[in-house]
Amino acid sequence: MATVKNNIKNVVTILLTFTICRIIVSEGLTVDQTLTEILHIGLEGEVSTEAAKLEAASLDFGRLSSKGETIAVVRPASANDVARVVKAAYKWQQYFAVSARGHGHSINGQADTRMKGVVIEMGKGGVGIKGPLVWEKEMYVDVWGGELWIHVLKATLEYGLAPMSWTDYLYLSVGGTLSNGGISGQTFNHGPQISNVFELDVVTGKGEVLTCSEDRNSDLFHSVLGGLGQFGIITRARIALQPAPQRVRWIRALYSNFSTFCKDQEFLISLHGKPASQRFDYVEGFVIVDEGLINNWRSSFFSPSNPVKISSLNADGGVLYCLEVTKNYHQGNADSVDEEIQALLKKLDFIDTSVFTTDVPYVDFLDRVHKAELKLRSKGLWDVPHPWLNLFVPKSRIEDFDKGVFKGILGNKTSGPILIYPMNKNKWDHRSSAVTPDEEVFYLVAFLRSALDAETLEHLTNQNRQILGFCHDSKIGVKQYLPHYTTMQEWMDHFGDKWTQFNAMKMQFDPQRILATGQRIFHFEVITKDDM
């Protein structure tokens, strides 16, 4: 009976589409009117052309770009809705762009359409979208592509399980992070989030709904992971799980010498193959170039009643470096945790008097940045421009980067946290579209700055250009994470040896180049089939 109903619905959809085609030809409707009519055909979700919603869909966390030409916003009720929109764009007489938007946390308008097109609000799915489905025995969870990681965490914790790899901020969509990489302090051990996926459902640029994995449509599977949304829209992801700890021992220690700091970080990530008792579960760090940042939102860990001052620690070049590590545990093995931590700390060479430790529930640690977000929102400091710059720096040149950037270009004011921590390349699947430096160990350096006024925005934007210029002139060989370029040649240089495969997969799965045009990788223009 269900099959008959579906067949009837498909016939009705075809007849309605044919009717609209005739109306357009006879009455000369505009592209915008045509698009609006198409999107109302067969969709179970919501379609809006309200000015306020169109404007909201053109803004992202970066607030650096609002050049999109969104002419409709779709709130899908299913993967089929996503497929219908993309198929309409692919088959219609006049092509239009389609962009999937998760939580809108991109920096440079990557989730916008850039050209006339539709934004699919994956993070605001309709009533047909189900929450995470946990498979306890199989140790994985099936998740809607627009689901936030915080919801995945809460759903899996009900079964005593959790994903292995995280991002620092959990209010990001699953499809969004898997389209980039998904990294945090666990990456050295478990790899990025894209290395912990069993299966995907993807709507390609042709409007096809394909299930892909290592063994099924493997080219699409590997291309989509880290693929910046170029080959399809992730509607379902099957994420690997592991037993979740109950609590986290959270430790920070300061360094005044960069070489020593790097040596210790690299030692800690080299322990990834050791038993859990012989390594930390999370390794990150950050750079402090001014007094205020020691006690800012990122490092409020330190006691306000006992503030740390750079001047009192003989910082090399006026810069301090903070190591941040954690040890996960259950109440049952709490007694052994301190011994394990002390055994590891004895092998490190931080400033003796600078160790700070706290103990928090696992969920509180993973959700730590959201608490800082709420504080900033209460002060009106969240919805401001964020000229962030995220770089992968090869281990062999990290000291040159320190001298040229941390002790050079930055001066003594940063306007936000600077993260720095190493990763192991062998934890990244080389078949994915993600790009990393060609060295076994490389560092993430993330400049997470905010601009409260136009003058600061201009200064930080220019500073980012200086940093990139320094890396280029010094041939440091950095790769951008969450990359942003404006020409195809720059993208070709970014992907390097992966470009040929990347381009071939684009032509196979999105030949009309209608997906993720906000990335500015492939040229897109509105053309009609008569022009082809």
Q: Is 458 a catalytic residue?
A: no
449, two tokens: 């700055």
Q: CA-CA distance, 120 to 112, in Å (whole number)?
A: 10
Yes or no: say if 62 and 383 are a contact pair by the CB < 8 Å rule: no
E runs forming strands in 373-436: 389-394, 418-424
Yes or no: say if 393 and 437 are a contact pair by the CB < 8 Å rule: yes
Q: CA-CA distance, 224 to 505, in Å (whole number)?
A: 9
Residue 173 φ/ψ, nearest 5 degrees: -85, 150
Q: CA-CA distance, 349 to 252, in Å (whole number)?
A: 13
> Which segments of 234-307 does DSSP mark as H helices, in order?
258-269
- 60, 81, 103, 105: the active-site residue: 105
Alpha carbon 412 to its chain centroid, in Å, reads: 29
Q: CA-CA distance, 452 to 456, in Å (whole number)?
A: 7
Q: Is 284 a catalytic residue?
A: yes
Q: Kindly state the helix (H) or strand (E) to which residue 374 belongs, with its residue range.
A: helix 368-378
Yes or no: say if 259 and 395 are a contact pair by the CB < 8 Å rule: no
Q: Is 168 a catalytic residue?
A: yes
Yes or no: say if 514 and 233 are a contact pair by the CB < 8 Å rule: no
Q: CA-CA distance, 411 to 88, in Å (whole number)?
A: 52
- 147, 201, 284, 510: the active-site residue: 284
223, two tokens: 């291309």
Yes or no: say if 121 and 113 are a contact pair by the CB < 8 Å rule: no
> Which segments of 330-367 does DSSP mark as H helices, in order?
334-345, 362-366
Q: CA-CA distance, 195 to 226, in Å (whole number)?
A: 10
Helix/strand/coil percent split, the chain, to 5: 40, 20, 40
- 32, 37, 69, 168: the active-site residue: 168
Catalytic residues: 105, 168, 284
